[in-house]
Amino acid sequence: MGLRIHFVVDPHGWCCMGLIVFVWLYNFFLIPKIVLFPHYEEGHIPGILIIIFYGIAIFCLVALVRASIADPGRLPENPKIPHGEREFWELCNKCNLMRPKRSHHCSRCGHCVRRMDHHCPWINNCVGEDNHWLFLQLCFYTELLTCYALMFSFCHYYYFLPLKKRNLDLFVVRHELAIMRLAAFMGITLLVGITGLFYTQLIGIITGLIHVFDTTSIEKMSNCCEEISRPRKPWQQTFSEVFGTRWKILWFIPFRQRQPLRVPYHFANHV
């Protein structure tokens, strides 16, 4: 299954995503310039730490780009409903189109999305069945990259030996303290926000309400699942269905294509 492109025209979303890209670029270029490369040249850290930093940063960017442009599960205008599955479909009262149960209408995008979790302005896209796995990867790698950058910022001042070679002609060296303070402020702010978001996403998958997929944020807010007795499944199976593979190592790879796992339709659509 190829990656279908989905582009949302929303200036507010563009601004939010632009801010995320700015934070990524800020850390991608300045942290190595001020901290990693100088300490590597003086023998304070091994080169593998620089490779790990760039690896995490690239995985984070790929997850961000793919989550923002991937089709989250937009329903076609004239879906083909299998005869034996009609009872699992319903009519949307906003766009007057048939949709599978557990789908929701996004007022910002103007269409229904299969298993829509929420509309995220930070990726300027909905989070739905087809890009939820990319959103989880984005949260994971953003948190990992932020912790990595904050750790090295702390070590730069309080653990590593002072740098002997400092070129004061460079702008980043002359204004190092201000640059690092801004990086620390953005890092801590981002870490607090992404930790709460990532925790919310994970808790919906591993709690006792486990279904074939996790309980979506919309379903939690609307309490539409409280009175429904749904089959429970192991969290490993749930994650496998979210990420489209049972190979756990592939859960962390944003370069691949997701293939939906075949599950009994009762599990997939019973609400």
pLDDT digits (tens, 9 = 90+) for 112-138: 898 888 899 999 999 998 999 999 999
Alpha-carbon span 190 to 187, nearest angstrom: 5
Find the mean pLDDT for residues 34-42: 92
Catalytic residue among 60, 106, 120, 126: 120
Share of the chain above pLDDT 70, in %: 85
Confidence category of residue 262, pLDDT binned at 50, 70, 90: low
**In this predicted structure, what is the pLDDT of residue 215?**
58
**In this predicted structure, what is the pLDDT of residue 92?**
85
Confidence category of residue 264, pLDDT binned at 50, 70, 90: very low
Confidence category of residue 11, pLDDT binned at 50, 70, 90: confident
Alpha-carbon span 243 to 224, nearest angstrom: 24
Per-chain mean pLDDT for the chain: 83
Indicate the burial class of 196 (C-beta count within 10 angstroms; 0-12, 13-18, 19 or more).
exposed
Find the mean pLDDT for residues 140-161: 92
Per residue in 46-79, pLDDT (tens digit) is 999 999 999 999 999 999 999 999 999 888 877 7
Per residue in 218-235, pLDDT (tens digit) is 665 555 554 444 556 777
pTM over the 0.95 mark: no
Find the mean pLDDT for residues 245-271: 73
Per residue in 85-115, pLDDT (tens digit) is 778 888 888 888 888 888 898 888 888 898 8
Beta strands, E only, the chain: 89-91, 98-100, 104-106, 111-113, 118-120, 125-127
44 is written with which tokens? 């304070």
Q: Is 120 a catalytic residue?
A: yes
CA dist list (Å): 44 to 130, 142, 237: 44, 26, 44
Alpha-carbon span 207 to 191, nearest angstrom: 23
